Structure 1
Amino acid sequence: MNKIRNVAVIAHVDHGKTTLTDKMIHYCQDIGEKLPEGDLILDNNDQERERGITIFAKNITVNYKGYKINLIDTPGHADFGGEVERVLNMADGVLILVDAFEGAMPQTRYVTQKALELGLKPIVVVNKVDKENCRPDEVQEDVFELMFNLDATEEQLDFETVYGSAKHNWMGAEWDKPADDISYLLDKIIEVIPEPPVNEGPLQMQITTIDYSSYVGRIAIGRVHRGEINMTMPISLVKRDGSVVRSKIKEIFVFNGLGKQKVEKVECGDLCAITGIADFEIGDTICHFEHPEALPAITIDEPTMSMLFTINNSPMFGKEGDFVTSRHIKERLEKETERNLALRVEQGATPEAFIVYGRGIMHLSVVIETMRREGYELQVGKPRVIIKEIDGVKCEPVEALTIDVPEEFSGKVIEAITRRKGDLLIMEPKGDLIHLEFEIPSRGLIGVRTVLMNLSAGEAIIAHRFDRFEPWKGDIPSRNKGVLVSMEQGNAFAYAMDKLQDRGKFFISPQSEVYEGMIVGEHTRDSDLCVNLTKAKKMSNMRSSGADDKTKLAPPTVFSLEECMEYIAEDEYVEVTPKSIRLRKILLKENERKRATSPSMAIS
């Protein structure tokens, strides 16, 4: 076992974790092994490639100088912290990756705290030292200060620092002396990261990840904490609720390169994948048949946001999706909770509605986008933060928000955040940018990214993480514009849209199919306006001045799924189908909406 090293790679989003892991795979590849073409071969999920971020933690193995290094690539976005929390149990050490310019960002602090609490040995990797205005020495000191503030032990504070550029394929002891390759980092992993401890006694292995194969079904992945595991041996599965299920292992695999290799047995300290066990969940413990002794449960931080998921009941219902009923949606959400520990699902007020709890808008949007691509049709409501009552006081989640922005935009950014109940804590120069740190209610973050990007001409660098619950901070101003709502069903005509351009901006193009109650644009005023876009130009044999002028329409505003979720008001839904994303009013008919908003007929 002294030839095994289990290492997790953790960092803030876009600091280079997956790029570095890729370079290590390429450097250590076995002769003759064919690697996939292109960059970021670990980001193999469609959404990961499109968004340019890691969403799911992944296990790969590289062989270097006779050592087997199990690498765990983790997500960097705060919304996917649940993925990081569960896989850190498999590691003995961590590579804490920081950008040589940005330094320790909010998610770096969050995952570093989790790693230090588990007693993992850190190696700090200062990446991207080739960037302009980089400050590697200051960043290294910032990381030391961060770890000191997180109550790291003396041994953890005595960490090794490696400098380099994963993009340019080198790592070395000094940032201003580029090396030839990344072997220095691999040598440090072997030297610094401890070998897995050999715990004598009956088998214990905690399931931290679930994989699936259409041939063998569900696959349990985890680390053998005690004893050894053999093929075809009978085992006891201790579930999170304490119940014990007897089962038998069919096949055992260890990680080898990008794939898996079938073996007869796995010893203490190694990572493995197991088939043949039924009805298991993340956090369950695989034990010796006669000694069912569970490991401590994996603790996952609670969700901070909820959304209503319901069936699609719009006039477009069933035209594009294969799975449209509440039973389909319920089964898919329950399946998602098996592997997505940070997600929770509850039955809503009606049989067709479900309340889904998650870490943030991106966390929930990834679930919705995945369902959409699998052929599901559904509607989702406005995201809501989770409110708690602590000692009789109404409390809401508060987040730490950091913004790096050019100085000329800093005043507008501070004004926008303070309007959303944000408190400015730190304002200091950082290279050619101004570094701002705020405390802000999670409610204030809904829609803030679009606002800040518009204010800063797209140059703001924004990051946030959940901090704690604080007493309710009062009302926060929401969307200050009304919407244009279609009053007829049919195809939108350019002639009708041209006549309405002075009333607002459109979200649809000419010839788009619309229906009564569908939101087709944003009004210039703070009230909603019903419009008829299906009115065509009447044909006649009379000519008039300017009749032959071409219709000139401004390009429509196209929202992403997350932007739609942030944009809608309480009385609106986002309709999601495999081919379309539409905005609509919950009550489609205008007279029903008026009746619902009148004081005498208000809906509770």
Structure 2
Amino acid sequence: MKDITKIRNFSIIAHIDHGKSTLADRLIQRTGGLTEREMTHGQILDNMEIEQERGITIKAQTVRLEWNGYELNLMDTPGHVDFAYEVSRSLAACEGALLVVDAAQGVEAQTLANVYQSIEHDHEIVPVINKIDLPAADPEGVRQEIEEIIGLDASEAVLASAKSGIGIDEVLQAIVDKIPPPKGDRDAPLKAMLVDSWYDPYLGVVILVRVMDGVIRKGAQIKFMAAGTMHLVDRVGCMRPKIEQLQELGPGEIGFITAQIKEVAETRVGDTITDAKRPAAEPLPGFKEVQPVVFCGLFPVDANDFEKLRDSLYKLRLNDASFSFEMESSAALGFGFRCGFLGLLHLEIIQERLTREYDLDLITTAPSVVYKIHLSHSKNEAAKVIELHNPADMPDPNRIEMIEEPWIDATIYVPDEYLGSILKLCQDRRGIQKDLTYVGTGSHARAMLRYELPLNEVVFDFYDRLKSISRGYASFDYHQIGHREGDLVKMSILVNNEPVDALSMIVHRGNAEARGRGMCERLKDLIPRHMFKIPIQAAIGGKVIARETIAALRKDVTAKCYGGDATRKRKLLEKQKEGKKRMREYGSVSIPQDAFIAALRMGEE
């Protein structure tokens, strides 16, 4: 039986690129989890190629370390806002956290968001100032910043450099001294939290659990309280970071179980696991269904790849239950899928994994968000509220009473010199300023902006614009604050009077004209000339708000007339004019695939 007072569960909180995964590597190495030879690459817990390349953590990972007779369970959590719910569950499984701050960059937006989550869970937070060996490091300034901005006592902050291995023993000692041991009753009915799950081709779904009360043993019949399903545990173990099988997991322990589950979708993050024969009275608090926030269409460039795309999406869903997809077809792009994602980074990651791991060439339609549409009652139907994911499915405008769009509360940190242009960017995107304060002193002084913004303005390249305006110095974090009514309209693009469904989008009435004009101008440059004139129009309902015309290719029909009467030439030109008119009526405009891709990219400007 394990002594619960010798257990410490902690996570690492940090902004992207502040050295979180490198610190985790050093802790594993120092406690003998892996030898120098087994450290085949840096960021040992970031096992996806894309995680290592971008320097971000996408999936939560766990590792059990032994140090001076103590058992330390480290949870490496994602730092990005898209995975905020997963972070909240990982934090709920711990009693404390290491707050890692870069000595050269100071506190950033995501650090702040995750620290506040950690404080809400009543955690003991140990500040670690990392990268102190950098020439630009200012540990004292950062210490002050942690106290000013977060309000934590940083006088005993551990100074470390994970890359050089400085201060690693001090970090381990601080974990043992400052983070409290877990509480839990071994004899109570089993209550464990499902922290994360992933698919293993040999074991099926592997579930990461934190036991609160009771014991999980091999051969036990367990029940998922939110999903309502029963399973038989066939393997219990922990990661060191290599898999080690155990007989049981007791209160306060973090480990994994397998139970012959085939689909990750059945194991929802945050669910409570209990004993089927002796269940707990009520589940653990905080569980919620993960809802997709951003939607877009994915279509294969080559129509023959449709089956391959479907298989690839099913395989990806095995490992990531938080994205959803359903089939859709488009007159312009053929067959594809409408997919839902947790946010823009999530969309980018899925897209990149499909391209890399499954060798697919994809077209992505402009991302859109979930709108709530209030419909008035008609002869056949009562009044109701529907959710709209795809602009092409917009109902009849005469029945729409109002449209609500999702809004977010965004926190932006930015050095003072870029403040003006970022205020303008937020203003242009219909933002409402809530707060503007200054943090830090001297060269570390930065403005902290709080804005309320409509999410559909943010999904269009807002993040890229923010980074380019601030030369990469601004950091951005957001959370959703619900839906609000907006003056929104569906803008359709017509090529030769035919609507192109893949290019339709929902925009604010005030921005519609500029968006429409931009799209028409771009298409004019992209669509090749035909033998007849092609009008390109942006329209809201029946009203055209922007138009460009592609001139016809002109064949010189009078070339054979080398003299003679002018009426001969006029006759030939009139005949040509008639032919062009007929051609325009019956001719079809072929829009090349690359024109589509470029036009959809333009939608992000």
TM-score by length of 1: 0.68
The answer to whether structure 1 residue 370 and structure 2 residue 384 are counterparts is: no
Retained in 1: the 8 A contact 2:204–2:261? no
Retained in 2: the 8 A contact 1:337–1:344? no
The answer to whether structure 1 residue 164 and structure 2 residue 160 are counterparts is: yes
Residue 396 of structure 1: aligned partner:
406
Q: Secondary structure of 2:304's partner?
A: coil
Residue 485 of structure 1: aligned partner:
526
Retained in 2: the 8 A contact 1:236–1:288? yes
Per-residue CA deviation, residues 457-504 of structure 1 (Å, 9 max, x unaligned), is: x34433232252474485456584624324399xxxxxxxxxxxxxxx
Q: Secondary structure of 1:189's partner?
A: helix
Q: CA, structure 1 residues 292+309, in 2 after alignment: closer, same or farther (shift >3 Å)?
A: farther
Retained in 2: the 8 A contact 1:309–1:378? no
Residue 481 of structure 2: aligned partner:
468
Q: CA, structure 1 residues 40+236, in 2 after alignment: closer, same or farther (shift >3 Å)?
A: closer
Amino acid at match of 2:597: L
The answer to whether structure 1 residue 305 and structure 2 residue 293 are counterparts is: yes
Distance (whole Å) between structure 2 residues aligned to residue 84 and residue 31 of structure 1: 26
Shift of 1:124: 1.7
Distance (whole Å) between structure 1 residues aligned to residue 258 and residue 28 of structure 2: 26
Residue 443 of structure 1: aligned partner:
456
Q: CA, structure 1 residues 443+311, in 2 after alignment: closer, same or farther (shift >3 Å)?
A: closer
Q: CA, structure 1 residues 73+324, in 2 after alignment: closer, same or farther (shift >3 Å)?
A: closer
Distance (whole Å) between structure 1 residues aligned to residue 159 and residue 141 of structure 2: 13
Residue 390 of structure 2: aligned partner:
none
Q: Which runs of 5+ in 2 are unaligned?
A: 375-384, 386-401, 488-507, 531-535, 537-545, 553-590, 601-605
Counterpart selection for 2:121 from 95, 104, 118: 118
Per-residue CA deviation, residues 238-287 of structure 1 (Å, 9 max, x unaligned), is: 3414x342x3222211222x211112222221112112343641244332
Retained in 2: the 8 A contact 1:304–1:397? no
Per-residue CA deviation, residues 549-597 of structure 1 (Å, 9 max, x unaligned), is: xxxxxxxxxxxxxxxxxxxxxxxx998xxxx9971669xxxxxxxxxxx
Residue 591 of structure 1: aligned partner:
none
Larger radius of gyration: 2
Counterpart selection for 2:82 from 60, 74, 79: 79
Per-residue CA deviation, residues 69-92 of structure 1 (Å, 9 max, x unaligned), is: 111111112122233122223212
Retained in 2: the 8 A contact 1:225–1:268? yes
Shift of 1:169: 2.3
Higher helix share: 2
The answer to whether structure 1 residue 422 and structure 2 residue 431 are counterparts is: yes
Residue 68 of structure 1: aligned partner:
71
Distance (whole Å) between structure 2 residues aligned to residue 529 and residue 485 of structure 1: 12
Q: CA, structure 1 residues 333+263, in 2 after alignment: closer, same or farther (shift >3 Å)?
A: closer
Q: CA, structure 1 residues 335+40, in 2 after alignment: closer, same or farther (shift >3 Å)?
A: closer
Q: CA, structure 1 residues 405+362, in 2 after alignment: closer, same or farther (shift >3 Å)?
A: same
Q: CA, structure 1 residues 195+530, in 2 after alignment: closer, same or farther (shift >3 Å)?
A: farther
Alignment of 1:125-144 (within 5 A): 125-131=128-134, 134-144=137-147
Q: CA, structure 1 residues 411+236, in 2 after alignment: closer, same or farther (shift >3 Å)?
A: closer
Residue 22 of structure 2: aligned partner:
19
Percent identical: 23
Distance (whole Å) between structure 1 residues aligned to residue 474 and residue 108 of structure 2: 11
Distance (whole Å) between structure 1 residues aligned to residue 483 and residue 10 of structure 2: 36
Q: Secondary structure of 1:323's partner?
A: helix
The answer to whether structure 1 residue 317 and structure 2 residue 303 are counterparts is: yes
The answer to whether structure 1 residue 249 and structure 2 residue 237 are counterparts is: no
Q: Secondary structure of 1:273's partner?
A: strand
Distance (whole Å) between structure 1 residues aligned to residue 215 and residue 446 of structure 2: 54
Q: CA, structure 1 residues 131+31, in 2 after alignment: closer, same or farther (shift >3 Å)?
A: closer
Retained in 1: the 8 A contact 2:271–2:287? no
Distance (whole Å) between structure 2 residues aligned to residue 159 and residue 274 of structure 1: 41
Shift of 1:304: 7.2
Distance (whole Å) between structure 1 residues aligned to residue 464 and residue 229 of structure 2: 50
Shift of 1:44: 2.0
Alignment of 1:256-405 (within 5 A): 256=240, 258-278=241-261, 280-282=266-268, 283-293=270-280, 295-296=283-284, 298-300=286-288, 303=291, 305-312=293-300, 316-318=302-304, 323-325=308-310, 328=311, 331-332=314-315, 335=318, 338=321, 340=322, 343-345=323-325, 355-375=338-358, 379-387=363-371, 394-405=404-415
How many residues are matched? 477
Amino acid at match of 1:287: T
Per-residue CA deviation, residues 487-526 of structure 1 (Å, 9 max, x unaligned), is: 399xxxxxxxxxxxxxxxxxxxxxxxxxxx9xxxxxxxx9
Q: Secondary structure of 1:252's partner?
A: strand
Per-residue CA deviation, residues 53-110 of structure 1 (Å, 9 max, x unaligned), is: 1111111122211222111111112122233122223212111222334433222222
Shift of 1:225: 1.6
Retained in 1: the 8 A contact 2:203–2:258? yes
Residue 237 of structure 1: aligned partner:
223
Retained in 2: the 8 A contact 1:198–1:269? yes
Distance (whole Å) between structure 2 residues aligned to residue 335 and residue 286 of structure 1: 21
Shift of 1:353: 6.1
Q: CA, structure 1 residues 201+406, in 2 after alignment: closer, same or farther (shift >3 Å)?
A: closer
Shift of 1:123: 1.2
Counterpart selection for 2:180 from 194, 203, 215: 194
Retained in 2: the 8 A contact 1:487–1:531? no
Q: Secondary structure of 2:160's partner?
A: strand
Shift of 1:530: 6.4
Distance (whole Å) between structure 2 residues aligned to residue 100 and residue 397 of structure 1: 34
Shift of 1:191: 0.9
Shift of 1:380: 3.0
Distance (whole Å) between structure 1 residues aligned to residue 335 and residue 155 of structure 2: 53
Shift of 1:37: 3.0
Q: CA, structure 1 residues 529+102, in 2 after alignment: closer, same or farther (shift >3 Å)?
A: farther
Distance (whole Å) between structure 1 residues aligned to residue 80 and residue 210 of structure 2: 25
Retained in 2: the 8 A contact 1:345–1:356? yes
Per-residue CA deviation, residues 400-454 of structure 1 (Å, 9 max, x unaligned), is: 24243472x5444433332223355426476177535241333333213433454
Distance (whole Å) between structure 1 residues aligned to residue 277 and residue 464 of structure 2: 57
Per-residue CA deviation, residues 367-402 of structure 1 (Å, 9 max, x unaligned), is: 222233342565432112334589988353123242
Q: CA, structure 1 residues 416+224, in 2 after alignment: closer, same or farther (shift >3 Å)?
A: closer
Distance (whole Å) between structure 2 residues aligned to residue 254 and residue 49 of structure 1: 23
Distance (whole Å) between structure 1 residues aligned to residue 154 and residue 201 of structure 2: 47
Q: Secondary structure of 2:5's partner?
A: coil
Retained in 1: the 8 A contact 2:147–2:154? no
Distance (whole Å) between structure 1 residues aligned to residue 347 and residue 551 of structure 2: 32
TM-score by length of 2: 0.68
Residue 52 of structure 2: aligned partner:
49
Amino acid at match of 1:10: I
Distance (whole Å) between structure 1 residues aligned to residue 85 and residue 156 of structure 2: 27
The answer to whether structure 1 residue 431 and structure 2 residue 443 are counterparts is: yes
Amino acid at match of 2:366: K
Distance (whole Å) between structure 2 residues aligned to residue 53 and residue 158 of structure 1: 26
Retained in 1: the 8 A contact 2:82–2:345? yes
Shift of 1:355: 4.4
The answer to whether structure 1 residue 95 and structure 2 residue 82 are counterparts is: no
Distance (whole Å) between structure 2 residues aligned to residue 160 and residue 8 of structure 1: 19
Residue 540 of structure 1: aligned partner:
none
Shift of 1:289: 3.6
